[in-house]
Amino acid sequence: MKNVDFIIHPFAPIYNKDSKVLLLGSFPSPKSREVGFYFSHPQNRFFKVIADLFNETPPSTIEEKTKFLLQHKIALWDVIESCEIVGASDSSIKNVKVNDINSLLKQTNITAVFCLGNTATKLYKKYVGENCFTLPSTSPANCAVSFTELKEKFKQILPFLK
């Protein structure tokens, strides 16, 4: 049996006052926590998909990723501030405390919130509000969704970035 760990989200949201779209994951994976940045598992397709939407090369360093997101008016955070979790398993998440997402929304020009995956959507709707869109998770665990399908779904964010 794997150990259940109580973990506090280890890094800050990425946003500025010009952000127009907020993308929310559920909680950082062990690899992301180790690296200290969102979607850092080598097989996670998040930055590949987002960069492809803008016909750009995926950013590789934390600084490049942050600059890329802010340049394109994309804010990035997770729904969960702290929880008990086994490894990277969303299905194991318990004793959730959510981030103060409404406070972030008040500091920005965000007009649309997109949750990445069913867990993020379920938690957002339960604790924050109903007004969000759901996008498929870019996690390697969600291998049933192809890169092409991910990109097609993620195109939904583009009208809100204008």
pLDDT at 1 over 60: no
Burial class for 101, CB neighbours closer than 10 Å (0-12, 13-18, 19+): buried
Supply the pLDDT for residue 47.
98
Mean pLDDT to the nearest integer, 100-115: 96
User: Into which CATH architecture does domain 5-161 fall?
Assistant: 3-Layer(aba) Sandwich (3.40)
- pLDDT tens-digit series, residues 48-97: 999 999 999 999 999 999 999 999 999 999 999 999 998 888 888 999 99
Question: Could you count the other beta carbons within 10 Å of the beta carbon of residue 41?
Answer: 19
Exposure string (b/e) for 66-83, b if CB count within 10 Å is 16 or more?
A: eebbbebbbbbbbbbbeb
Could you give phi then psi for residue 21, rounded to 5 degrees?
Answer: -130, 135
Q: Which two tokens stand for residue 135?
A: 């996008």
> Could you state, in order of their start, the residue ranges of all structural domains in the chain?
5-161
Q: Is 122 helix (H, G, I), strand (E, B) or coil?
A: helix
Supply the pLDDT for residue 61.
97
Burial class for 154, CB neighbours closer than 10 Å (0-12, 13-18, 19+): buried
| Whole-prediction pTM | 0.94
Mean pLDDT of the chain: 94
Tell me which of 51 and 3 has the higher pLDDT. Answer: 51
